[in-house]
Amino acid sequence: MAAAYASEHLESFNGLVFLAAYPTKSLKSDSFSVLSLYGSEDGVLNMEKVEEGRAYMPVDYAEVCIEGGNHAQFGNYGEQKGDHAAKISWEEQQAQTVEAILNMMEAHKDQKQEEVMMTYEQISPQEAKKRMDKEADVIILDVRTQEEYDSGHIKNAVCLPNEDILSEPDILPDKGQQILVYCRSGNRSRQAAQKLADMGYENVLEFGGILDWPYPDLVE
């Protein structure tokens, strides 16, 4: 019932936990999480239905089998017909259940915080080139070292090493300026783009590394 309701209101929830259960309707959403728990000694749960239910799960889906747990011990209502005897106590089964649910909630919270923190946009090298060709006032920012920049860089790029961004903001006076950021492989450019966003720059676009730049004629 919970899964059926959630499937029609995915935008209203962060996720769903199944305790020895399965969905019969789609839960696919980029912003929805599902955790499925069941015991290894469960004699009630239809595992074929569980297998079928996996087709309805979102990308953020985790499945946990509690070794020694059975069906009834997810609650405190006694034995159930057809269930197998548990090999762990109900206290241990429920403790593992709580731990798994808390881990899911913490992971979702961290993901949401990361999404809020990332206030720059990631684009492809192809999209970056389109913007370079179309917009005259765009700044191309190379955040590698000066030595790396001197060995070859994208035409018209300005060198501002990632390590110096916080101490040398004067090179980028306009916080509304469109800034295209790249490095060697994409790691430093993401760090630099986040720093710029944290400093209040409103139009930061990160497009990876020069190693993946497919336009050698635009390198000097």
151-187 pLDDT, tens per residue?
999 999 999 999 999 887 677 878 888 999 999 999 8
Please tell me the total count of domains within the chain: 2
Residue span of the structural domain in which 129 resides: 121-218
Given this model, what pLDDT does residue 114 score?
56
Which residues, 6+ apart, have CB-to-CB distance to 74 below 8 Å? 19, 20, 37, 39, 93, 94, 97
Q: Is there a single domain that holds both residue 100 and residue 150?
A: no
Choose one of 64, 92, 117: the last residue of a domain. 117
Which pLDDT score is estimated for 115? 54
Is residue 53 domain-shared with residue 126, that is, in the same domain? no
β partners of residue 140 = 157, 180
Q: Is residue 201 located within the same domain as residue 175?
A: yes
Domain boundary among 100, 117, 134: 117
Sheet arrangement for strand 179-183: 121-122, 204-209, 179-183, 139-142, 157-159
Catalytic, out of 20, 45, 183, 205: 183
Residues paired with 18 in a beta bridge? 36
Q: Which helix (H) or strand (E) holds 36?
A: strand 33-39
Tell me how far apart the alpha carbons of residues 108 and 110 are, in angstroms, rounded to a whole number: 5
Q: What is the pTM of this model?
A: 0.52
CATH classification of the domain holding 162: 3.40.250.10
Backbone angles phi, psi at 66, to 5 degrees: -85, 110
**pLDDT, tens digit, for every residue of 107-126?**
877 665 555 556 899 999 99
Which of 92, 117, 142 is the last residue in one of the domains? 117
Determine whether 65 is an active site residue. Answer: no
Which whole number is the average pLDDT over 7-30? 92
Tokens 């903001």 sit at which residue? 169
Same domain membership, residue 138 and residue 37? no
Residues 152 and 194 in one domain: yes
pLDDT tens readout for residues 31-79:
789 999 999 999 999 999 999 999 999 988 999 999 999 999 999 888 9
35 and 84: one domain? Answer: yes
My answer on whether 212 and 111 are in the same domain is no
